[in-house]
Structure 1
């Protein structure tokens, strides 16, 4: 009988240790019945003070501590996106990745084909809603695709140079200043789809003759890259 009591005491001490009890916590009581079975009473009883039991934090405590020590206003990056305080990633890096994927998937496209690059637009009913991201991405793709040897055509080139007190200009978006027709074999175009975490860019190279898609690729640009672009544009507009 003494052995049974000794085993019961050892079991209770072990249960205290596994449950992570301190001297101020409580847990249910255990006892050994006459049939040799250990019984448990869910009604808590005080843990003896000075028992020498030491609590060792486990992974659950460390995980909980991460939640209680976060700053007020914490937003889960899995749902709201990641916003670093500093980043070396820029939009041209994503343009480079997009150009590489386009060229890897390209079919029936030669280095002699003349390629124009248009702005990327929001995927909506009009397909005419341009953005800062869409315009800048098309500008970066001019250099990125030319690095692969493509013959890039800039259809925004005006018929002559315009000299003003603010500078000398040859690019224009005015229809009457541009050539009526530009010889282009293929055009790079695409759409952007926005969500809380960023922007999905879907790009393709399309034949102007038969509308065949000769290359396609997509890339996901995080929201903090897009937000930085909008901040720069807003600051410039206020300065002017």
Structure 2
């Protein structure tokens, strides 16, 4: 019976392709237990046999069966991106702040600490990203929860009132306070690869440049990609 099914299956191949010579592919059949069996050994189709086979649901089921690739694929290298995730950037900022405080030495609650943008690890060390800026903003709140005295050095000398709102933060150097007292500064670098971003953070003494705390964390690529959605080109303020 198995041999007959295989020959019938091969007959349709010969008729559809109008072959005049013997064609052969593997054979398959549906067992009594419902499992599909397959043999890669070729089955000869007699020339001019007149056999004709009409595909049914078993053929479609078999095609789906052989189309599945059972091999393992690294989801990150294959462009894995979940439709939903409960993880957000502030969760990674919280973990990073906890690791920094666990490793902190010679750091007291009286020390004034500023938080700067994280930058790409390149020649200039002056190239930040959306991730680098947002991470520093989250760290202000996260580190303050540990009792650190955080300094916001982006405060302008006064409030600027405009038709669009009232502003006290600025990135214009001439509008900022000339002297800001800080004992330590939080800074760090960004190292990007195909899988995501490695953040290397540290708290450094402004007096002697001593690193009083350090930590690193890895943020998956889909978190970074989500941050860039809807991002429009921005013109730097001169």
**Partner in structure 2 of residue 145 of structure 1:** 143
Call closer, same or farther: CA 1:82–1:235 in 2, change over 3 Å.
farther
Determine whether 1:175 maps to 2:173.
yes
SS where residue 234 of structure 1 aligns?
coil
Cα deviation for residue 55 of structure 1 reads 8.6
**Partner in structure 1 of residue 209 of structure 2:** 211
TM-score normalised according to structure 2 size:
0.69
SS where residue 161 of structure 2 aligns?
strand
Alignment gaps of 5+ in structure 2: 8-26, 38-64
Call closer, same or farther: CA 1:182–1:57 in 2, change over 3 Å.
farther
Q: How many residues in Structure 1 have an aligned counterpart in Structure 2?
A: 188
Cα deviation for residue 56 of structure 1 reads 6.0
Aligned mate of 1:195, from 193, 196, 207: 193
SS where residue 99 of structure 1 aligns?
helix
TM-score normalised according to structure 1 size:
0.69
Cα deviation for residue 232 of structure 1 reads 3.1
Alignment gaps of 5+ in structure 1: 1-22, 26-46
Aligned mate of 1:164, from 162, 170, 173: 162
Cα deviation for residue 234 of structure 1 reads 3.0
Aligned mate of 1:103, from 101, 108, 122: 101
User: Counterparts in 2 of 1:102-141, with a 5 A limit?
Assistant: 102-141=100-139
CA deviations on 1:117-175 (whole Å, 9 max, x unpaired) are 00000000000001110000000000000000000000000000000000000000000
| Aligned 8 A contact 1:107 1:215 in 2 | yes
Using the alignment, how far apart are the partners of 2:76 and 2:180 within structure 1? 46
